[in-house]
Structure 1
Amino acid sequence: MTEAARTAASHGADWVDTAPNYANGHAESALAPVLAEHPAVRVSTKVGFIPEDAKRIGVRAGALSESDADRGHCLAPDYIRWQIARSRRMLGRIPDLVFLHNPEHACQEGDIADRLYRAFLALEEACDQRGIPAYGVATWQGFNSGLFDLPLLLELATKAGGSQHRLRAVQLPVSVVHLAPVAQALDGHGVLAHAREAQIEVFASAPLHGGEIPDLITAELVDLISPGSTPAQAALAVVASGLGVKRVLLSTGSTEHWREAADTVGRPPLPPDVLRRVVDVLGT
């Protein structure tokens, strides 16, 4: 992870995304030297999933209940405050953004609004105390399951922090496997369209679906999307062209792969008619 981040930062990346539970709980500390070497690079982390090595410490500190530690996921205000402070120490700096990590985890539909509101209150408090400048929501299934949508998130953030709330971003999977957000935005609705209207940044996660997508892209589909590109470049072009997508999150330690990805993401977006044909071919 350290070398992948160093490669990205050395070749123009201006943002690194991480979480306390990544890399067996060592991701944040592994990034600290890279962030020190590249102070202009911004960083986002998350709160929700509990690293194994933090469970016992969190319980002893009074930030976690035994039951939450056993579940391995927590968005209680005390834990949010504790984990933000811990992330700051691990990263060696204040994160630029803290995402709630999969708030839908083990949550029933009737409980999600209260869970989010209480978490937003804690995050707004952290912003007031200059512990962090902004926050967001990172989800795998929250939007596509209908458990919540961006209007609800904005309503709850406004309730927690007023009209000047610090909800700034959402993170969700967008790829040729997860095309629904792109398709919805083409028709003027869904999370990408709402985010653009509300000036909320969209971080597209898993754009290559764990590296599986290049093997799924046919030569005919590459020609439809971007003739002359590699399958990975064609897939990334679709993601980067999604309405309102601000950042495409990619993990690679290969300089060649990074340069190819950066070149693709930096190109003008694909025309809507091309995206519609891709959706017609692949479905949602």
Structure 2
Amino acid sequence: MRGADPRIVLGLHRSRHERQLLTGALDLGVTALDTSTNYLGFRSHQVLAQTAGDLLPKFTVSTKVGYFPAPGGAEHSLDPLRLHAAVEQAAEDLGREPDLVFLHNPEHSLREAGPHGQEVLTEACAALDAATGKGLCAAWGIASWDPSFLVGLIGPTVPRPATLMVRAGLLAGVRTLDAADALIRAWDLDPSEVWGMSPFGGSTSDAVWARIDPRVFLGGNRQLSRVQAAFMAAYHLPRVGTVAVGTDEPAHLGELVGALGGEVEKETIQEYRSLLRDRSHDQLF
């Protein structure tokens, strides 16, 4: 068994939540799980407790609140009372308090909040801060698919999250990268307090990964596979200390664990970001 590596979190989005995956993760030294109240048709917490309740104490567990069951699917809400109740329910369903609870995609509701956006965000964050203070979770954070909606709302009234999770990697896009950097500066977050997600922009089987070779970011050391190189680049786009990755295959997870010793050329990363920004500027004219 490898030593525990905190830089990889096993994400359960679209996962089948099979016990074999969790035992395989532990064998690889991956001891962090990330899920959400709405994963697996709003059954993720219950299924985890039923199929792997004895394994959960071996993991640090993060989850997310913000989506709620509704006729025909799900609805998003930043109502403080609903968020607080969701954290309570998460702890009950998991059979333990989560180590970290994220406010899930707050931009979903903030789009409709108009001039009251900062007030709505402040109250939502305060609800998670209060839940943490009551011991319902060890810490709270914000997970945002489109962080650009948050940049103009951060001020002294908005509580500081312990962790920020944003899209990361070669396909994240300059708008997302710049917004993530702005939030990191506004909250004075260390890279260890920032997580990346969706490092492959969906799947390693997407056609784009057959057309490009991410090993150019490794400089002269190209011993890693294309998938491994893309994964390592995600730690620098933006600068994060942890990457959450979803898979149902322990072998794929093992490939990513095997990439952690790889070194990425920071100069090439900066050149790539400059190219993204130049391309974005050209598209405006």
2:90 to 65, 87, 91: 87
200-209 vs 272-281, which moves further: 272-281
Once the 2 structures are TM-superposed, how far is the Cα of residue 231 of structure 1 from its aligned partner?
2.4
Task: Please tell me whether the aligned partners of residues 174 and 207 of structure 1 are also in contact (alpha carbons under 8 angstroms).
Answer: yes
Q: Quick check: 1:262 aligned with 2:257?
A: yes
Unaligned runs of 5+ in 1: 56-68, 159-166
> Aligned in 2, Cα 1:191/1:180: closer, same or farther, shift over 3 Å?
farther
TM-score calculated relative to the size of structure 1: 0.77
Unaligned runs of 5+ in 2: 1-15, 281-285
Q: Counterpart amino acid of 1:39?
A: P
Task: Please tell me whether the aligned partners of residues 201 and 246 of structure 1 are also in contact (alpha carbons under 8 angstroms).
Answer: yes
User: Match for residue 202 of structure 1?
Assistant: 194
TM-score calculated relative to the size of structure 2: 0.77
Q: Deviations over 1:207-228 (max 9, x none)?
A: 1122057531357633412324
User: Match for residue 225 of structure 2?
Assistant: 230
SS at match of 1:94: coil
Distance 2:74 2:244 in 1: 27
Distance 2:87 2:234 in 1: 30
Once the 2 structures are TM-superposed, how far is the Cα of residue 119 of structure 1 from its aligned partner?
1.2
2:168 to 138, 163, 174: 174
209-218 vs 80-89, which moves further: 209-218
SS at match of 1:136: strand
User: Match for residue 17 of structure 2?
Assistant: 2
Distance 2:240 2:116 in 1: 29
User: Match for residue 161 of structure 1?
Assistant: none
> Aligned in 2, Cα 1:221/1:103: closer, same or farther, shift over 3 Å?
same
> Aligned in 2, Cα 1:209/1:6: closer, same or farther, shift over 3 Å?
farther
User: Match for residue 59 of structure 1?
Assistant: none
Q: Counterpart amino acid of 2:55?
A: E
Q: Quick check: 1:140 aligned with 2:145?
A: yes
> Aligned in 2, Cα 1:177/1:88: closer, same or farther, shift over 3 Å?
same
Q: Counterpart amino acid of 2:86?
A: Q
Distance 2:155 2:62 in 1: 19
Q: Quick check: 1:245 aligned with 2:240?
A: yes
SS at match of 1:137: strand
Matches within 5 A, 1:47-196: 47-52=65-70, 72-107=75-110, 108=112, 109-141=114-146, 143-144=147-148, 147-149=149-151, 152=154, 155-157=157-159, 167-180=161-174, 184=178, 189-192=181-184
> Aligned in 2, Cα 1:233/1:151: closer, same or farther, shift over 3 Å?
farther
Q: Counterpart amino acid of 1:2?
A: H
Structure richer in helix, relative to its length: 1
Distance 2:158 2:109 in 1: 20
**Greater RCO, CA 8 A, separation 6+:** 2
User: Match for residue 267 of structure 2?
Assistant: 273
Distance 1:280 1:232 in 2: 23
Once the 2 structures are TM-superposed, how far is the Cα of residue 191 of structure 1 from its aligned partner?
3.7
Task: Please tell me whether the aligned partners of residues 169 and 235 of structure 2 are also in contact (alpha carbons under 8 angstroms).
Answer: no
Q: Counterpart amino acid of 2:101?
A: V
> Aligned in 2, Cα 1:72/1:273: closer, same or farther, shift over 3 Å?
same
> Aligned in 2, Cα 1:182/1:84: closer, same or farther, shift over 3 Å?
closer
